[in-house]
Amino acid sequence: MITNPRLVTVIGALSLSAVEDPAAGPVLGRLKTLLSAIGRHPSATLSALPAALLLGEYGGGGEWAEGFVRAAAVTGRATQVLGRPVLSLRQSIDGTQQRWIIRLGRQSGHPVGGEDHLEFSAGRLLVSQQYLSLLLPDISPPPTAYTISRAIAIVGRSGLDKLNQLGKVETAEPRGSHALVVFPPEEGCADRRPVHALIVGPDSGSCPEDEQIIYLSSIIPAPDPTFDPTQLLEPVLDRLLRSASSSAPQEVLRSSTFYSQCVPHLPPPSTTPSASWIVPSWPAEPERSGLAEVVEWAAETAENLAKQLVSTSDSSLE
């Protein structure tokens, strides 16, 4: 049994856990998967769907939807509408069946040309959690489960060049400009969680050749609307730049932004209208919000939704 708290934190960091003392079972499973995959699969982007591993080109959960749409579009089973805000969601009766009427607004960024509104119908509706107020306008918003403090920073030359120097081994393949750095919580801060710094470079297709992007994130377990993410993450960003770059922070940092992501609970299933499913934007359990856990959660959520859709289709045919 491992009792050293710092060692527990390091092992948790290697498994990309969002909590300081993760459960042993999931951690060992992820470490086994990670170690067995090293050097076995080539890197791949969403444009190479058959590959075993996917690397997002731009970053963010939207790439799950993008990957689904791309895969479905080539089979003629999906249509993607971009840049239009959702104005309303309502149910109507079409003969003996209920239909959803989805009304979209004008495409953003195009002040001239095109239709002011776009309206279409659907038998079943999968709606993102962010549109909960349109789906359930008479129900109070669910309470917040926890908050994620986030930051995005863009650095230019010379970038985080010391990370590349640390990763150079004569017998290893070049690792590119990507890295993951985990900062354990400071001693005495029992209410703080590790800070993850995900660093991506031009190899991901998300930034120019002379830039790198740093994504910082950390869980705030107790919902606090007054908490300032800058206060938590700006010192971590400064520490990362000073330790990983040969240049001063003010010389490489081009821009940065700090913000909070509130993760709400889902409403009770009994309040959801028929023929509709709410797709959660993020896991409501903090222990599932880490960089590895959230991927597993997204896959499980998608699988469960698919099973529910299939079961409703089968029942409608009976």
Domain ranges of the chain: 1-42, 83-142+267-291, 144-264
Average pLDDT of the chain is: 77
For residue 169, the tally of other CB atoms under 10 A from its CB is: 9
Whether residue 109 has pLDDT greater than 50: yes
Average pLDDT over residues 294-315: 80
Q: Is the pLDDT of residue 235 over 70?
A: yes
Comparing CA positions, the residue from 267, 293, 296 lying closest to residue 280 is 267
Is the Cβ–Cβ distance between 260 and 144 less than 8 Å?
Answer: no
Between 13-17, 47-51, 196-200, 297-301, the lowest mean confidence (pLDDT) is in 47-51
Tell me the CATH number of domain 144-264, given options 3.30.390.30, 3.90.220.20, 3.30.519.10, 3.90.79.10: 3.30.519.10
**Does residue 314 surpass a pLDDT of 70?**
no
What φ, ψ does residue 201 adopt, rounded to 5°? -120, -170
Query: Which stretch of 19-33, 111-125, 244-258 has the lowest confidence by average pLDDT?
Result: 19-33
Residue 291 has pLDDT above 60, yes or no: yes
What pLDDT, on the 0 to 100 scale, is given for residue 234? 96
Split at pLDDT 50, 70, 90, the class of 175 is very low
Q: What is the pLDDT of residue 35?
A: 65
Secondary structure string (H, E, C) spanning the chain: CCCCHHHHHHHHHHCCCCCCCCCHHHHHHHHHHHHHHCCCCCCCECCCCCCCCCECCCCCCHHHHHHHHHHHHCCCCCCCCCCCCEEEEEEEEECCEEEEEEEECCCCCCCCCCCCCEEEEECCEEEEHHHHHHHCCCCCCCCEEEEEEEEEEEECCCCCHHHHHHCCCCCCCCCCCCEEEEECCCCCCCCCCCEEEEEECHHHCCCCCCCEEEEEEEEECCCCCCCCHHHHHHHHHHHHHHHHCCCCHHHHEEEEEEEEEEEECCCCHHHCCCCEEEECCCCCCHHHCCCCHHHHHHHHHHHHHHHHHHHHHHHHHC
**Phi, psi for residue 89 in degrees, rounded to 5:** -135, 120
**How far is residue 175's CA from residue 266's CA, in Å, rounded to a whole number?**
40
pLDDT at 53 (0 to 100): 44
Binned at pLDDT 50, 70 and 90, residue 13 comes out as low
pLDDT at residue 242 tops 60: yes
pLDDT, tens only, 34-76: 666 555 444 444 443 333 344 455 545 566 666 666 666 656 6
Confidence of residue 23 (pLDDT cuts 50, 70, 90): confident
Summarize the confidence of residues 86-107 as an average pLDDT.
88
- Taking residues 292-299, what's their average pLDDT? 80
**pLDDT greater than 70 at residue 77:** no
The Cα 210–Cα 157 span in angstroms is 6
Percent pLDDT > 70 in the chain is 68
- The percentage of residues in the chain with a pLDDT greater than 90, rounded to a whole number, is 21
Q: Which pLDDT tens digit goes with each residue over 135-171?
A: 998 888 899 999 999 999 999 877 777 776 654 544 4
Overall average pLDDT of the 204-213 stretch: 81
